Amino acid sequence: MRFRKDASLDTSEVSDRRGQRGMSLPVAGGGGLVGILVLLLTLYLNSSGGGTPGSGITVDGSQGDLSAECQTGEDANQRADCRIVGVVDSVQAFWDRRLGNYTQSTTVFFTDQTNTGCGAASSAVGPFYCPVDKTVYIDLGFYDELRSRFGAKGGPFAEAYVIAHEYGHHVQDLMGLLDQSQDGATGPNSGSVRVELMADCFAGVWARGATDTGFIEDISDEDIQDGLDAAAAVGDDRIQQESQGRVNPESWTHGSAQQRQDHFLIGYRQGSIEACQSAP
């Protein structure tokens, strides 16, 4: 995946809280790539951050300023955090064109833990969307964990899939569909799983149209395979087998590895919101 070198990045859509601290308590509500399942597995196995757009601590711990360092698509091709800014810009531009009532969300970068409209959150829950403040939260260290803990190959498009999935929840929220996951039911046919698979499908819809947003120049077949690999890595069955040595479908909240891949491909091949809503 390559960005257009002359694309102008908008860092106002990203609030950088890296290096700030919040209370480490379970987050309530919202949807995420691995979400509460990972929090529960983590518990089983083992200063408030207001944030300002474009400023914070960089990955290597030094003081950074995203607005100064992430200005063009070429910056996105060179830096991991600028790459996520570019993906956010592309995803939001896409849905702004496709969804009549689209309103922009904010992505928050944080380190370890932060406070959100849905409660205090630890990076253990993985990336997630909070419908209360309509914000996507991500500790960028999750991308390393995606490879080291979940066994994904990684790569720029695997990272983009994560962001596009979370923004899929924002789209669901705007469409009034996110409440389907709030009844507490689990299992392969639960509302929670349906909502998560639809977000995977919406990520595929964006991927199909990403090069038309003015930010992304190229998405290759290899990129799509990296996205599918990441989707499979965070399937409930894969996580359960790795952490517990057995698979219990009745406790699923996000769907199996195969389901997650299948729904991403439905979105990618058909490019249709309606196809995602009607997908089994």
Of the listed ranges 34-38, 49-53, 186-190, 243-247, the one predicted with least confidence: 49-53
What are the contacts of 275-278 at 24+ separation with CB within 8 A? 275/201, 276/198, 276/201, 276/202, 276/204, 276/205, 277/177, 277/198
Task: State the chain's mean pLDDT as an integer.
Answer: 86
pLDDT band at 20 (very low <50, low <70, confident <90, very high): confident
Average pLDDT on 229-253 reads: 95
Domain boundaries along the sequence of the chain: 2-278
Q: What is the pLDDT of residue 27?
A: 47
Q: What is the pLDDT of residue 280?
A: 86
